[in-house]
Structure 1
């Protein structure tokens, strides 16, 4: 879910830190944010995949795979 955090308080779990008093989601793999500040592991994996192999719509002027490829040619 993009509008709710997995762990927190108040509407959308958008306040406070994740504590024993927090409401907790059932499947954190379906959430973008763990708490109001931190992305979930799944969200981080998506972000990193865009840095490494994403299109120029998201990473400019080139992704890391292109940088590594260029570096290997000149090594």
Structure 2
């Protein structure tokens, strides 16, 4: 499976979890290691997908603490 497809699958799954409330604002995303295992992807794919989510304001990184779901803009 091409890397783009794996990345898009991960982005879609995480976005769906955020939008459905499974991962509500303030929730910590699973670690990179956990996401690699769950989605059978490389760390590079996880990093790229998380960077995409950060760029769109869905999540934010806290150095040394992890990646957390952001409050929606305007909330």
Higher percent of residues as strand:
2
Higher relative contact order by CA 8 Å / sep ≥ 6: 1 or 2? 2
Larger Rg: 1
Shorter chain as normaliser: what TM range? under 0.3
More helix by share: 2
**What TM-score, normalized by structure 2, do the two folds share?**
0.25
